[in-house]
Amino acid sequence: MTDFIRAENGHRERVDGAAFLLCFLLGPIWLLARGLWGMLLGWILVVVPATVALGIAFALYAKGEHWVVALLTLCGPHLVFSGLAPAALARKYLRQGWVKVE
pLDDT digits (tens, 9 = 90+) for 38-54: 999 999 998 888 888 87
CA distance 53 to 99: 41
* pLDDT, average across residues 57-67: 71
Strands 99-101 and 12-15: unpaired
Alpha helices by DSSP H, listed for the chain, are 17-26, 28-34, 37-42, 48-61, 67-83, 85-95
pLDDT for residue 92: 95
**Whether the predicted pLDDT of 69 surpasses 80:** no
Containing structural domain, residue 12: 2-101
CA distance 79 to 20: 9
Top mean pLDDT of 2-11, 54-63, 73-82 is at 2-11
**Whether the predicted pLDDT of 66 surpasses 80:** no
pTM to 2 decimal places: 0.82
CA distance 56 to 73: 12
